Structures are given as structure tokens and as C-alpha cells.
Amino acid sequence: MTLRIRLAALAGVVVLALVAAGFYVLRVQRDQASAAGSAPAVPVTDLAAALTAPHIVFRSTALGSGYGKLAVAPLTAPDGPRAFTEASCERAYAVAGRSVCLSARRGLTNTYKAHVLGPDWAATGDLPLTGLPSRVRLSRDGALAVTTTFVYGDSYASLGQFSTRTVVTRIGHKGSSDLETFRLLVDGKRITAADRNFWGVTFADDDRFYATAASGGKTWLVRGSLAQKRLDSIRTDVECPSLSPDGTRIAFKKHGGMAPGHWRLAVYDLRTGVETELAETRSVDDQAEWLDDKTVLYGLPRDGATGAATSDIWATPADGAGPPRVLVPDAWSPAVVRTSSPR
Amino acid sequence: MYVSVRDRPAAAAGRTGRVATTVVLLGVVSMFTDISSEMVAAVLPLYLTTAVGLGYLAYGLVDGIYQGVSAVVRIGGGYAADRGGHPKWIALVGYGVSAVSRIALLPAHGFAAIAGVISADRLGKGLRTAPRDAIIAESSDPAQLGRSFGVHRTLDTIGAALGPLIAFAVLALVPGSYDSVFVVSFAFAVVGFAVLVLFVPDVRTRAATAKAGLRQAFREISGTRLRRPLLATGLLGMLTVGDGFLYLAVQQRDDLTASFFPLLYVGTNVAYLIFALPLGRLADRIGRARVFVGGHVALLAAYLAAGGQLGGLVTTVLVLLLLGTYYAATDGVLPALVSRLVSDEVRGSGIAAAQTVVALSRFVSALAFGSLWVLFGRGHALLVVGLLLAVALPFAWRLMRTSEAPA
């Protein structure tokens, strides 16, 4: 091949690559524009009406103008028409009259916000946040909020090098508690290792909570007290606990002997110490939520028809009987609000 | 086609001449490939958590294991390049596999699929590095090898710095469309691949005529000339704490928000690309082993700065500068050093052996340092390793000085 032919070939490759990639990006841009302009691909109902009865709050992943918005559906028909709020969140949690919305502002450096939303879904304040948020919960009365972030989130390439920060905030008050400043006792022995990590808090009341503690490659379910600044281990291999409405059981993901990145949903009875694996056999990486005392909810990703990432909220019986079913299609990050919201 | 990077005026160095066109071309190939791979690396954590819905703890675990696999493939790539006598062919396979892995991210949506695609990329990288460095060594004046590698690494690092910028520009244009990032990344990889196919000459190494058997490769690698520098490299590698730990130390001390984390990588890369060429030339002048060991002195200083109590922006910038200096003084200098210590027939294997020693010893160090961190906490762990490094440096120098090739 002469130099001229090779140069021509390179020019051809460059032009082809440029045109093809440019065409792809422009098509995505056009699709996004038309999707954002089009009505949501799901039936829509009135927000005020939906909030008067017990309901489920979730992030809608249905294509259309409501993509990524918080939505509400009545518990009587969770897969029926949904009502959209104006809040866009990556992840959220809600109780009656209050919710916390984690959102990302993308750029060269990504900044994240944790907004506290009032009854009208408008932001009333921010929670302190360091890093990439992964879990959020409110206490039952909405007085306390907790977020877990990956502080060292950008190094996915380093073995065992990660750091989480879990911070409890009393909403409307200054200051917050970082769980790493609490005393951690495993089987009564104090753990002071620098690799202590905590995540996935679930509140029992305004003082007591459950969470995951990790150190040296092991994880524990711990019971904590905000007043005493103390965490006591209950058992091993528990991640992202979620307390049942009656306060007797913990739904969680367990790793067991599975490959890295795989978890099995299970329920632990705090009174008897009995563990029950749930019927869901797919790997679940989510902090579960309880629909009622008998049913556990969780999100699972699904490949969308147009390549857009979407997800569904699934439900499975807490006693391990099957089978799991889709509770809310095109949805993520469920929060069950059992009382109607004060207006 | 004359592509050349002129050196600075003769007055500065006393030695002029062009860096071989092949070296610059390979630099361009690496630049495009690095744009492509860093684009993906920059958005991957976000993609996994927000789009795929995975936690990345899971991902980090697997990735560490594949680093080990990549080290083994590296040796294979070096040996295959020697054995066949066509290092370009092996490099082509390596670059090709990595390029294809970008587009394979489009249909891959599960954890296993994504982990598979990423490891294919790493394997491609492992495969291509040694043959590529062998071509650089083959096409360069032996007396100016350090400078050649410096030019190559500079171009390579420019790509690494541009990649994240381009990725975030794409995301700004089409928010949330990670597939667009993968497609654009693939386009860059294809251009790099085309430059390699069309312009990089199929340099025939001596191995083409004198086929070196496994036995000869092994004999040379374990032979007296290479044994001592490899030992020294392994010793120093085991006391090399991963960048991630240093960044974490800086971050914990100064409570930088995680959103600024990517900037730490960018800072190191900028320092690396500024110093790669000057230090490569310095290595040609005063000796490669000297600069290589000197780079570890910079690393030691970085430990002290990151592990000490002095905080603030100045210390953080200093850590990044020192870390970049360390990379500039070692990454390209090591193959330059090794190339002259083995016979031409097994050059690829020799370079691969040295790079494998680096990769494996750093892997060991990451595991060991993780435990130290747990036992002593951040600052003390760094100071302990710093102390060990200070003790090891004179030994490493003694092992290496004999291999100082006449420049």
C-alpha cells in the first residue's frame, strides 16, 4: 500500500467513525427530546387524590415526560394509574408528609444533593452529603433522616478499598451523627479497626435503629442507639437491613458463599433468631421495603425496549413462600406510606 | 509521512535528533486508545449505580482479581511477540479486543456481562503492552530509549487526561445516555486501531530469524543480567502503595468531597505528562536505573506528605506532583532499562517480565497495605511503608546500579 492509499484509508475510518458516532448521539438526543415531550407511557392520575389514601411513593422509570420523577400510586392499585410529583430523584424515601430525594447534578465532577421535601413535594432543606449516595431512610415520624454514601466511590478498581459514610440527621436541627464516631461492639468486644464501615440504616424509633457494620471483610447486623452512640452486633452476614412495620423482623440481603456482587434476600426474626430465605432467587442489591407485615418489596433492573435502563418494583412473601410478582412496573426505590398525608 | 517531535534546542541537552516516527505513531495509537478507555472508566461507577442498579463494592472485588489475570497474559503477549517475530500482530490483537469490548458494553446489562466485558478490556491491555514496548525499543536509538518512551508515555497520558473530559461532554449533550459514551469511546478506539494497522510498520524483531524458545526466554529472564533489576523492581513494587490509598488518605485528612475525587486522578496525570519526557531524557543522560530508583524517592516523599499531619491544598497538590513524578520516572524508564539488558530475540519477554513483576508486586502490596491500614490507621500505615521504603531504597540501588547500561 502506498502512503497515499493508507492516508486515504485513515481519513475514511476517521470520517466513518465521526459520522457514525455523531449520528448515534444525535439520534439519542432527538429521542430524548421527543420522549421528554411526550406523555408518560403509563396512565396518570391526580396527585391530591392519590395522597388521601395509603400509597406507595417511588421513582418512575416509565419513558416519557415523567422519567425519573417521584410518583405516587394507591396501595389498592399499585400497578394502576400513577400520579407524578415535580421532584426528580435517583433514589428517595417517604413517610406521610415528608420525603428525602437524592439527586445528581452531572458534570466534570458530579455533585449530589439530598433534598428534604415537604407535603407539597417542594424542597424545604438539604441534608449534609459527602460522596455518592446509595441509601436513604426516614424514621417513621419523619424526624430523623439517614443517608449512606460511598466516599471513595470513584475507585472501582481497587480491591477492598472502599469507604462509606453513614450520617443521621435530625431534620431542622444543626449537626448530625456519623456512625463511625459510635462505639462498635461485636460480641461484646470493641472494634476499632480503621476499615469499619456502616451502611443501610433502618429506624425502629427516634433513638434505636438497625444497620450493617463491616470490618475485615465481614458484615454484621447491629442494633444502635443514637443517644448512647453505641452499636451492638446481633449476627453476621447482613447487609441493608429493613425493619418490618410490626418491628419484629428484619429483611436484608445476605451474601453467603455466592460470587462477589450477588446477594439473596432473606428475613431474620429478631425474637426467635430464625432466618428465612425468600423465594426471589435473582440477586437483589437494594435496601428492601415492607408493603405490610407479610410482604417484602425490592427493585430489580430490567433492560428497556429502547435500551434505556428501567426497573420494576417486585413483591415477595416474607415467609419465603413464592412466587415473586411485579408490584409496580417501571418503578424504583419504593416507600410505603400507610397513613394518608396531612395536607 | 513525517511525524516528528523535535527535542528542545540542543543547548539544553547536547543531544538532538528526531524520535522515531514509529514511536510517535504508537504514541498516537495509545492516545486514542486511552481516550477511549478513560471515557469508559470515568463513567463506569455512575453507570453501574444509576443505570444498571448495581452496587460497586461488588465490582471492585472482581476487578482486583482480573488485575492478576492481566499480569499473566502480559507475559504471554511478550513471549508471543518474540516467538512470532511480529510484535505488531500481537499488539493488534490486544488493541482489537479492547476496542470490541467498548461496543460490547451496549448489550451487556447484567453484572456478569459487564464484568466479563471489562475483563476482556483488561486482557487486551495486558496482551498489547509488552509487544508495543518491544516495537518502541526496536525502532529507537538505544542511547535515546528513555526519551522515546517518554514521548510515547506523554502522548498516552494526554489521552488519559482527555478521556474523562470527552465523556462528560457527551453526557452533558445527552444526559444519562451511557450508551452514547460507549459508542463515542468505540469510535476513538477504532481510529487508534486504524492508525496502528495502517501506519505502524510491522517491525521484524531479531526473533524472526532466531526463534527463541521458551527455554531461552526463561534463561535470559532469570539470568544474572536481568535477575538483579527484577529483584529490585519487585522489592520496590511491594512497597508501592496504590494511588487509591494515597487519594483516600488525602481525602480523609482534608475531607474533600467525593465529587472532587476524579480531579485527583487528573492532577496526577497532568504531572505525569509534564515530567514523562524530561525524565526520560534525564534517564538517557544520567542512567535509567538512577532515575528509576530516584522515582521511588519521589514516591517516598509522597507518602510522607500524604501520611503526615500537614493538610491543606498545598500538601494535596504536592502529593499529586510527587506521584506524577514517580510515574514519569518509572513507567517508561523500566522498559527502556530492561530492553538493553536482554538479547533482541527475547526483548518482548524481558519487558513483559519486568512489567509483570511490577503488577504482581503491587497487587501483593495492595493486599498487605489494606491490612496495615486496618491495623494502624491511615497516617501511621503510610509512615510505616515509607520507613520500609527508605530502608529498601539503598538495597534496590545496589541491585540495580550494576545493570546501568552505558548511555
Per-residue pLDDT reduced to its tens digit, A100-134: 998 876 655 567 788 999 998 999 988 877 777 78
Q: Do residues A2 and A132 both lie within one domain? A: no
Contact status, residue B347 vs residue B204, Cβ threshold 8 Å:
no
B374 vs A194: CA distance, rounded Å: 5
Q: Do residues B257 and B122 both lie within one domain? A: no
Measured between beta carbons, which residues in chain A are less than 8 angstroms from residue B177? 25, 28, 32
B139 vs A209: CA distance, rounded Å: 66
- Whether B214 is covered by a domain: the verdict is no
Within 10 A of B320 (CB to CB), how many other CB atoms are there?
27
Q: Do residues A9 and A103 both lie within one domain? A: no
- Checking if the pLDDT of A310 tops 80, the result is no
User: Are the beta carbons of A194 and B377 separated by less than 8 Å?
Assistant: yes
User: Are the beta carbons of A283 and B111 separated by less than 8 Å?
Assistant: yes
Within 10 A of A80 (CB to CB), how many other CB atoms are there?
12
A180 touches chain B (CB under 8 A): no
Q: Which residues of B19-32 are buried (b: 16+ CB within 10 A; e: fewer)?
A: bbbbbbbbbbbbbb
Residue B273 parent element (H or E): helix B261-286
- Checking if the pLDDT of B332 tops 80, the result is yes
A135 vs B49: CA distance, rounded Å: 11
Q: How far does B287 lie from chain A, in Å, by closest CA?
A: 33
Measured between beta carbons, which residues in chain A are less than 8 angstroms from residue B2? none
Least confident of A22-26, A260-264, A281-285, A329-333: A260-264
- Whether B399 is covered by a domain: the verdict is yes
- Pairing, β A98-105 against β A111-117: antiparallel
Q: How far does A26 lie from chain B, in Å, by closest CA?
A: 8
- Checking if the pLDDT of B14 tops 50, the result is no
Nearest CA in chain A to B257: A130
- Whether A109 is covered by a domain: the verdict is yes
Residue of A17, A157, A261 lying closest to B191 (CB–CB): A17
Domain end (from B163, B196, B229)? B196
Domains: count for chain A: 2
- Whether B82 is covered by a domain: the verdict is yes
Give Cα B277 to chain centroid, integer Å: 15
User: Are the beta carbons of A161 and B53 separated by less than 8 Å?
Assistant: no
Q: Do residues A43 and A73 both lie within one domain? A: yes
Query: Which grid cell is B268?
Result: 496526577
Q: Do residues B186 and B227 both lie within one domain? A: no
Q: Do residues A115 and A248 both lie within one domain? A: yes
Nearest CA in chain B to A132: B258
Residue A244 vs residues A8, A76, A199, A337: alpha-carbon distances, Å: 68, 20, 18, 13
Q: Do residues B380 and B260 both lie within one domain? A: yes
Q: Do residues B191 and B293 both lie within one domain? A: no
Q: Do residues B162 and B228 both lie within one domain? A: no
Of B107 and B186, the structure prediction assigns the larger pLDDT to B186
Q: Do residues A102 and A114 both lie within one domain? A: yes
Domain that holds residue A47: 39-337
- Whether B250 is covered by a domain: the verdict is yes
- Pairing, β A295-303 against β A275-277: unpaired
Q: What is the pLDDT of residues B149-189, one digit of tens each?
A: 999 999 999 998 888 889 888 888 887 788 899 999 999 99
The pLDDT of residue A280 is 92
Measured between beta carbons, which residues in chain B are less than 8 angstroms from residue A286? 53
Q: pLDDT exceeding 70 applies to what percent of chain A? A: 90
User: Are the beta carbons of B257 and A303 separated by less than 8 Å?
Assistant: no
CATH code, domain with A127: 2.120.10.30
Q: Do residues B187 and B232 both lie within one domain? A: no
A243 vs A252: CA distance, rounded Å: 9
Q: Which of A16, A20, A9, A2 is nearest to B194 (CA)?
A: A9
Residue B48 vs residues A80, A259, B357: alpha-carbon distances, Å: 29, 17, 31
Q: Do residues B181 and B323 both lie within one domain? A: no
- Whether B392 is covered by a domain: the verdict is yes
- Pairing, β A289-292 against β A83-88: unpaired
- Whether A260 is covered by a domain: the verdict is yes
Q: Do residues A180 and A298 both lie within one domain? A: yes
A88 touches chain B (CB under 8 A): no
A260 touches chain B (CB under 8 A): yes
Residue of B1, B165, B247 lying closest to A3 (CB–CB): B1
Q: Do residues B295 and B337 both lie within one domain? A: yes
Residue of A18, A156, A301 lying closest to B44 (CB–CB): A156
* Helix-strand-coil split of chain A, %, nearest 5: 15, 45, 40
- Pairing, β A183-186 against β A230-236: parallel
Q: Do residues A302 and A220 both lie within one domain? A: yes
Q: What is the largest CA-CA distance in chain A?
A: 81
Among B174, B246, B363, most A C-beta atoms within 10 A, so best to mutate, is B174
In this structure, is the dihedral angle defined by the CA atoms of residues B382, B383, B387 and B388, taken in order, positive or negative?
Answer: negative
Reading phi first (left if > 0) and then psi (alpha if -120 to 50, else beta), residue A56 is in beta
Q: What is the pLDDT of residues A144-155, one digit of tens each?
A: 999 988 765 433
Q: Do residues A31 and A169 both lie within one domain? A: no
User: Are the beta carbons of A107 and B61 separated by less than 8 Å?
Assistant: no
- Whether B233 is covered by a domain: the verdict is yes
B104 vs B84: CA distance, rounded Å: 29
- Whether A343 is covered by a domain: the verdict is no
Q: Do residues B185 and B60 both lie within one domain? A: yes
- Whether B8 is covered by a domain: the verdict is no
Helices (H), B287-343: 288-307, 313-330, 333-339
Q: Do residues A148 and A264 both lie within one domain? A: yes
The pLDDT of residue B45 is 66
Domain that holds residue B327: 221-407
CATH code, domain with B79: 1.20.1250.20
Q: What is the pLDDT of residues A168-212, one digit of tens each?
A: 999 988 878 889 889 999 999 998 877 788 889 999 999 999 999
A168 vs A179: CA distance, rounded Å: 8
Of A243 and A149, the structure prediction assigns the larger pLDDT to A243
Query: Which grid cell is B352?
Result: 513483559
Measured between beta carbons, which residues in chain A are less than 8 angstroms from residue B53? 285-286, 299-301, 309, 311, 332
Residue of B59, B262, B367 lying closest to A156 (CB–CB): B59
- Whether A210 is covered by a domain: the verdict is yes
Q: Do residues A9 and A48 both lie within one domain? A: no
Residue A99 vs residues A70, A95, A125: alpha-carbon distances, Å: 10, 6, 11
Peptide bond into A260 cis (omega under 30): no
Q: How far does A88 lie from chain B, in Å, by closest CA?
A: 13
A109 touches chain B (CB under 8 A): yes
Q: Do residues A99 and A203 both lie within one domain? A: yes
Q: Do residues B238 and B316 both lie within one domain? A: yes
The most confident of A58-62, A230-234, B141-145, by mean pLDDT = A230-234
A181 touches chain B (CB under 8 A): no
A2 vs B121: CA distance, rounded Å: 32
A39 touches chain B (CB under 8 A): no
Q: Which of B356, B383, B357, B355 is nearest to B369 (CA)?
A: B383
Q: What is the pLDDT of residues B203-225, one digit of tens each?
A: 887 655 566 677 777 777 777 78
Q: Do residues A156 and A62 both lie within one domain? A: yes
Residue B182 vs residues A22, B161, B364: alpha-carbon distances, Å: 12, 17, 32
B67 vs B21: CA distance, rounded Å: 32
Domains: count for chain B: 2
Q: Which of A249, A335, A247, A264 is nearest to A297 (CA)?
A: A335
Residue A314 parent element (H or E): strand A309-317
User: Are the beta carbons of B180 and A25 separated by less than 8 Å?
Assistant: yes
- Whether A266 is covered by a domain: the verdict is yes
Among A1, A19, A110, A165, most B C-beta atoms within 10 A, so best to mutate, is A110
B129 vs B30: CA distance, rounded Å: 10
Q: Do residues B61 and B187 both lie within one domain? A: yes
Q: Do residues B377 and B253 both lie within one domain? A: yes
- Whether B163 is covered by a domain: the verdict is yes
- Checking if the pLDDT of B40 tops 60, the result is yes
pLDDT range class, residue B253, cuts 50, 70, 90: low
Measured between beta carbons, which residues in chain A are less than 8 angstroms from residue B199? 6, 10
- Whether A236 is covered by a domain: the verdict is yes
